[in-house]
Structure 1
Amino acid sequence: MKYSRLFTALDEGLDLTGTLHILRPPAGYDLAGLSDVSVESTFYPDHQYWQAMGMVGDGTGRGATLLVVPRSKTLARAMISDAIAAGGLVIVDGQKTDGIEGIYKDVRKTNTIMGVVAKGHGRLFWFEAGTAPDWDVTVTSPDGYKTVAGVFSETKIDIGSSQLVPHLDALKGDVADLGAGWGFLSREILTHEGVTRLDMIEADKVALDCAVLNTNDARARPVWTDALTFSGGPYDVVVSNPPFHTIRAGDPDLGKGFIATAARILKPRGALLMVANRHLPYEAELDAKFARVEELAGTGAFKIFRATRPKR
């Protein structure tokens, strides 16, 4: 039988006392049969999974903290530094592709490692909190915006989003920014006086909090949810720069799901304005969901679509 790194660590002597608070575990993360657990997740689909399991909590009274290393190196370092500052037992679990080996080497320079499990192309290790490594966890946000570690395009405005802006002409009515991120497109949408309402729909709660700060407009409303299952509206316009991965590997079906949602939440005469990487195969899905699809001026790297008359 194949066991997770956490299961193996418990079998090899990891001693837990009190509640184990777990930061950002993906849905389905193997808890090795533990029941005294609280989970904190900022990605909406993961949050919903753990909420259904009855495990969502803020870590009050925790006996130990387990961090599942995210893709962002800066975020991972900030999370570990915060856990060390909080004190107690700290457990770190991550894949080699997410930089766990470098993290392990840095942490063991300032803390005594109590145990290690290396398997499944990753590593889990634990230690009693001592001193955090001398990491730089600051984020240089794009000029005039607030971003934080771990959000998509945290240090610069995404090129695709910037190329969509000139096509946001004469926006009016109720608008949705589907996959709003930290709010660059949302702020641009709100420069149009004809916009009466903007719903910023985003699965990453941390990015959505930034979007609220970056728009600061009474017409804007944050909606923390999964864009693939969202059923609000109806809207006059949907604007979107959909993601094409939630993990390291790309997944074009994500963008196709955004197109399906846009068609579902638009008014009969509504329009979708969308930008995508040139190589992603979205044309067939657009044709299936909309009666009229136009490719607007793009570049060698990006394509921009205007789709109208959603099919019901």
Structure 2
Amino acid sequence: MSLTNPSRLLAKYADRFQSQQLVLLNPDGDSLIEALAPQVAHLTLLNTDWVNHQRLLPLQRGNVSLAFGADIQALDAPSADAVVIRIPKAREQLRYLLAMASALLPAEAPVYLVGENKGGIRSAAKSAEPWLDGTRKLASGAHCQLLMGSNRAQQPWQPETWWLQHQVATPDGELALASLPGVFGHGSLDPGTELLLQQLPSQPQGRVLDFGCGDGVIGAFLAQRNPAIELEMVDINAMALAASAQSLTALGHSAKVYPSDGLSQVQGQFDLIVSNPPFHHGLDQTFDTARRFIRQAVEHLKPGGQLIFVANGHLPYGDDLDHAFGRVNIIAQDSKFKIYADKK
């Protein structure tokens, strides 16, 4: 695996971590482990991205531990000598990671921030002020920067302070949801999902899959309409999975919530598959996930089962629908979005 530009910049300074207990939060799915592992006493990587976590698994070794989860409670030994944060695109998620870093470290221990200029690294020092002192630039290159600051004081990790409880307006009235920083739909209902909710069955039945569940709004909406459905919800984002599970629990519904790259972890067939499929991975726009989802969804539908999803009107999914279902059926649209629906 090649290194991303932020990882390449960080690898040049691997000797800074000599014999340290190093924790890397939000790592890219590349081979940075190979540069860091020979230097450190132990390297722990906590990923909130299931795809990146899966890519890193083959690189696990004696002094390298990998974890997937929404926060540092997923770690076996939540302490460190230094923390590196690969900054995410959402500023509130960076603050969330900084709070975790502070909980892992003693006062004055170093925290490193690495990321792309277009990804927010230029404003990262400002975001870090509540947790770090003296944040400064160590290096730059390939449109990336590496910053370092000192942990102001070890602060206990308080995950409950990061939960956002909010309500969104749906065709059936207000729906209460829970969310965490970095989750799609955090604190609001996006217009595409709003249009999708208007087209969903009034009485969903049987097995239902919510693909790319985000804060759980689609699955929760369907469970409110029929609590008897067998609901499954998948996403690659650990915070989204935690948010969906929390949203369903608070509403008194049950669901199987789990990570999946596309439909790779999904078993069996469904009566209904619904989605507002993602077309970004990190900062990059990509249609691969949604296109694979469309082509694979037909195999996960029961005879007569239905796929319903929303997409930006300009996105090129017509060929994939025609390949999977032999037709392209648009049941609603506005100036920005289209709702596609097909039965097996």
Q: Quickly name the TM-score band, shorter chain normalised.
A: 0.7 to 0.9
Specify the alignment match of 1:302 in structure 2: 337
Aligned runs of 1:104-253 on 2, under 5 Å? 104=125, 107=128, 111-113=133-135, 116-130=138-152, 141-143=165-167, 144-169=176-201, 170-193=203-226, 195-216=228-249, 217-253=252-288
Q: TM-score, normalised by structure 2?
A: 0.80
Task: Tell me if structure 2 keeps the 8 A contact 1:147–1:207.
Answer: yes
Unaligned runs of 5+ in 1: none
Q: What letter matches 2:117 in structure 1?
A: K
Q: 1:16 to 1:80 in 2, by over 3 A?
A: farther
SS in 2 for 1:171: coil
Task: Tell me if structure 2 keeps the 8 A contact 1:230–1:261.
Answer: no
What is the deviation of 1:50? 2.3
Specify the alignment match of 2:157 in structure 1: none
The match for 1:8 among 7, 12, 17 is 12
Unaligned runs of 5+ in 2: 68-74, 155-160, 168-175
The match for 1:290 among 317, 325, 328 is 325
Q: Aligned equivalents of 1:168 and 1:107: distance in 2?
A: 42
Q: What letter matches 1:168 in structure 2?
A: L
Q: What letter matches 2:8 in structure 1?
A: S
Q: Aligned equivalents of 2:127 and 2:328: distance in 1?
A: 52
Task: Tell me if structure 2 keeps the 8 A contact 1:178–1:238.
Answer: yes
Specify the alignment match of 1:23 in structure 2: 25
Specify the alignment match of 1:96 in structure 2: 117
| Number of positions where the alignment pairs a residue of Structure 1 with one of Structure 2 | 302
Q: What letter matches 2:233 in structure 1?
A: M
SS in 2 for 1:142: strand
Q: 1:99 to 1:288 in 2, by over 3 A?
A: same
What is the deviation of 1:138? 6.3
The match for 1:254 among 283, 289, 295 is 289
Q: TM-score, normalised by structure 1?
A: 0.87
Q: Aligned equivalents of 2:230 and 2:219: distance in 1?
A: 11
- Structure 1 position 69 matched with structure 2 position 87: yes
Q: 1:32 to 1:220 in 2, by over 3 A?
A: closer
The match for 2:45 among 39, 49, 52 is 39
Q: What letter matches 2:189 in structure 1?
A: I
What is the deviation of 1:228? 4.4
Q: What letter matches 2:144 in structure 1?
A: G
Q: Aligned equivalents of 1:98 and 1:302: distance in 2?
A: 26
Task: Tell me if structure 1 keeps the 8 A contact 2:137–2:147.
Answer: yes
Specify the alignment match of 2:313 in structure 1: 278
| Identity fraction in percent | 25
Task: Tell me if structure 2 keeps the 8 A contact 1:38–1:59.
Answer: no
Farther-moved stretch of structure 1 (194-203 vs 61-70)? 194-203
SS in 1 for 2:285: coil
Q: 1:195 to 1:297 in 2, by over 3 A?
A: farther
Q: 1:178 to 1:108 in 2, by over 3 A?
A: closer
Structure 1 runs of 4+ aligned residues shifted over 6 Å read none
- Structure 1 position 80 matched with structure 2 position 68: no
What is the deviation of 1:73? 0.6
Task: Tell me if structure 2 keeps the 8 A contact 1:172–1:192.
Answer: no
Farther-moved stretch of structure 1 (292-301 vs 180-189)? 292-301
Q: What letter matches 1:96 in structure 2?
A: N
